[in-house]
Structure 1
Amino acid sequence: MVKTSGESVMDSVDLNVLRSVLQWRRAGQRVVLYSVVQTWGSAPRQPGAMLALREDGVVIGSVSGGCIEDDLIQRLQDGRLSATGPAVQLITYGVTRDEAARFGLPCGGTLRLTEEWVGDPAWVAELLRRCEDHEIVARELDLHSGAVTLHSASRQDVLTFDERTLRAIYGPRWRLLLIGAGQLSRYVAEVARLLDFEVLICDPRAEFVQGWEAQHGRFVPGMPDEAVLGIETDERTAIVALTHDPRLDDMALLTALNSRAFYVGALGSQVNSRKRRDNLALLGLSREAIGRLHGPIGLHIGSHTPAEIALSLMAEIVAIKNGVELRQKKTELASSE
């Protein structure tokens, strides 16, 4: 049995593939779904990556850098791909160095894909619904029958493939809760949306709410600490306090730093960040919880404008999401103490 290492919960780019699959099947169009199940050597996409191919040649998603996608479309157009064949079959690319070079796989890399005709899309709708409810779901595909079953899963589960069954793990979108609806928050929301984060905003000050279009994010009612609790903060949630008003920011931080959020940050200089940590300690927050606070926020890129600050903040959040150790920030914090 093949297991992937580390966290293998699919990102929302793969959920977008499934959303298209559901839309196409409900419209009566035939769809074949490809999933990367094994890789050897260097490969552009990791196991679990998905691509959907519609009967007219339209594709969404990616399983390589592009050349394999072209061949999959060609298989449909020249008749090698038939809806009357097996419900599921395995396809391998890059067995030889010549083929690897032809399909753009570096260093002789090899990909193995499942090719799966999607029948009743009920399982797609159910999987998407459960992910929207912030559940982690395992999809098991029986390669012999083509049957799909869904099961509850945990963050420790990984993609597995044993030649008979593919078990892939899906999870909810990454979320960003912004405390404050000022100018900087608008830039942060825009960058976060480009990175496919679900953006949530909390600001009880009515004068800051004007001008926020619905597509920039969803407002969460109540005070900041209530918002942190109300969204059921989990390990795929980042929370950033941006009001510069300790009466609002610290309310959110007191709750957020004891939550499961993978990132908690607050806007402010090094001096203000030290004062904030001291204040949180006086309010009874533990040393361990305070140690989770990111402040000053963002990676050092010499940022001055709101757009540059938003870029540095989201770069830091994405780095932590992806498990990158931020040595630069550790050095800066150590030198300031």
Structure 2
Amino acid sequence: FDEKKIKALDHDLLNQLKKEVDVVLIEADGSRGMPLKVPADYEPVIDEDTDQIILITSMKGLGKRVKDVVHRYELLHLDPEKIVDGALIQQLVRYYLKRYPDAVIEVKQPEGLYQRALASLIEHNVDVTCIQKEWFMPQSKLVLLGAGHVSQYVEKTAHLLDFYTIVIDNREEFANKNIFTEAQEVYCVNYEEADHYFPAEDNTCYVIVTRGHKDDKVCLKKVLNQKALYIGMIGSKGKVKKTMDALIEEGYDESLLKQVHAPIGLPIHSQTPAEIAISIMAEIIQVKNTHQYSTMTSDLYHTKEKGTLCIITSKEGSAPRGVGSMMLVTD
């Protein structure tokens, strides 16, 4: 060892070992502890008697800056601030394959379905741009602010559509798991604290169905500070206008408020709480499917099963499922 760097074996000793043992495993190229590397012209150093070359890379660098995870990135004039994506990992792997086209590729530590799909494409040297990261997003999360009768039907409908649902209300008799049996999270808290329980995902949908103007206004102010795929607020045109006017007086941008779906839901002349819930979820589906490709169920998103992942990458005519729809076929 010299400064913690492993040196090559003495040439005569290596030749002696070749005669005495069945397998000699040699690390031919290090990367200073980084998951990715651009090799110099003299790298890797491959012994002339080598039978098989295994090129090992990792998903650890995905989503991080080039300068933090790519050793010798300067050799390819890579932007040090660039965020590493699947295409860049494949570019670096192919840089090695130009020199050793028969090398076997192994991608270590893929996490989640998207990384597993990327790893498979890289290992089989198939262009990773044939898939898009957006296809691998989970279904949107749904936040219900207010736990009355409409919310109860929205929760049931959202469950059928595989939404992850969070219910928030300030009344114990409504905000409980005995009523919202299908919701993943139920909180009985003051609406002023509601944002502490909001999800981090940008594609979250917010439905404001509280019992009064005051609570609507509080909730809407909380939600407007979030990145959201959909914001809807129940109420008559008069009730909605009163809330919006109050927020404009407080300095809120009118163009921002116009993005709120209020009155909420598609205009299908719904009357009962169940019909109103259908109109709300129909509008959410309309917005969701306009802005994102993913229709992935939570079971598929979290699966650790092995199998063949089938993805629709293009479609023609009236095929019922869109681009990005996928199915995992197991044994």
TM-score with structure 2 setting the length: 0.49
Q: Which is greater in Rg?
A: 2
Greater per-residue strand proportion? 1
TM-score by length of 1: 0.48
